[in-house]
Amino acid sequence: PDSFALENLLKFTHLEVSALNSVVLSNQNPERLSFGMPELDHTGMPKLKASIKSLGELKKLSLDYQTVLFGNFFNGTLIKRQAILKVGNINRDLFIWGDEIDMAMRLMYFAPIRTVLNAIHYHP
């Protein structure tokens, strides 16, 4: 994580969210997302189309210029305790193949997930 990632995430804990996520950027190219980020449809579910690959594209989706809906788990993620109590913890049977998607989908039913654009986590 960037040295200010946690500090920047904590600024948004007042929001009605299930989780706050850092932007996961390539440690080789800080304008590239390490993992593609889906755009959400009008129901809040990921659209079936090519994912967003650059930080610039991701910033265009921000409604408030600070956060975007959805997130890539678990690199730099804060999950609210109340959300885990409601939807359950990580499904160990899916570790390490699909646990993040399962958890994100369950959390989205509790409250939105937001990625904080100035909370950065570098990943190869």
Alpha helices (H) along the chain: 5-10, 55-60, 81-87, 99-110
| 56 backbone dihedrals φ, ψ, rounded to 5° | -60, -45
Mean pLDDT across 23-49 = 88
pLDDT recorded at residue 80: 96
pLDDT of residue 61: 86
Q: Which residue has the higher pLDDT, 42 or 120?
A: 120
pLDDT digits (tens, 9 = 90+) for 3-22: 999 999 999 999 999 999 99
Helices (H), 13-111: 55-60, 81-87, 99-110
pLDDT at 36: 85
Secondary structure of 54-97 in HEC code, one letter for each residue = EHHHHHHCCCCCCEEECCCCCCCEEECHHHHHHHCCCCHHHCCC
Bridge partners for 77 per DSSP: 21
Task: Give the pLDDT confidence of 49-107 residue by residue, as tens digits.
Answer: 778 999 999 999 887 899 999 888 899 999 999 999 999 999 989 888 889 989 998 99
CB 20 within 8 A of CB 78: yes
